[in-house]
């Protein structure tokens, strides 16, 4: 099937509905969706890699922490990511990697600022076609 994402309308937030053949693929797609809100992912080179280890008591907290980790690197180091990999996802943590580069004003037109991933209307579910993940972002 392959993964995909679509943006969802909301009065004060923006949502992403991601689909994948696995929950890992759905998480990768929601990560790509968040990047697409911030800038054009096609213009991001995979020049630097960061390793992620996020914990949480359930899937929702793990996914939210993963997305907020992406935003942490953007806010603290000016890194924007376009390539993501999930190496392991257990009941306690997600381990993975993200590749991208430092934002360059000449190449990366910044679109919408994302403040944080939220628990609002969060949903992760297995369907007949794979997995769906819905997350809303505070903008």
Domain boundaries, the chain: 4-138
User: What pLDDT was estimated at residue 66?
Assistant: 99
Share of the chain above pLDDT 90, in %: 88
Question: Whole-angstrom distance between the N-terminal and C-terminal Cα of the chain?
Answer: 31
Strands 130-138 and 4-9, sheet pairing: unpaired
Quick check: 11 pLDDT over 80? no
Helix, coil or strand: residue 90: coil
Question: What are the contacts of 99-102 at 24+ separation with CB within 8 A?
Answer: 99/46, 99/47, 99/48, 99/49, 100/44, 100/45, 100/46, 100/47, 100/48, 101/44, 101/45, 101/46, 101/47, 101/48, 102/47, 102/48, 102/77, 102/78
Tens digit of pLDDT for each residue in 40-65? 999 999 999 999 999 999 999 999 99
- CATH architecture of the domain 4-138 equals 3-Layer(bab) Sandwich (3.55)
Q: With contact defined as beta carbons under 8 Å apart, do 93 and 86 qualify?
A: no
Quick check: 105 pLDDT over 60? yes
**Whole-structure pTM value:** 0.92
């Amino acid at each position: 099937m392959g993964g995909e994402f679509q943006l969802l309308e909301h009065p004060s937030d923006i949502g992403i509905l991601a689909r994948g053949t696995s929950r890992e693929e759905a998480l990768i797609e929601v990560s790509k969706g968040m990047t697409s809100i911030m800038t054009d992912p096609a213009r991001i080179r995979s020049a630097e890699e960061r390793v992620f280890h996020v914990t949480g008591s359930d899937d929702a907290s793990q996914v939210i922490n993963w997305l907020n980790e992406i935003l942490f690197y953007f806010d603290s180091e000016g890194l924007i990511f376009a390539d993501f990999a999930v190496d392991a996802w257990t009941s306690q943590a997600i381990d993975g990697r993200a590749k991208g580069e430092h934002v360059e004003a000449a190449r990366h037109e910044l679109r919408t600022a994302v403040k944080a991933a939220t628990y609002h209307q969060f949903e992760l579910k297995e369907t007949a076609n794979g997995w769906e993940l819905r997350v809303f972002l505070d903008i």
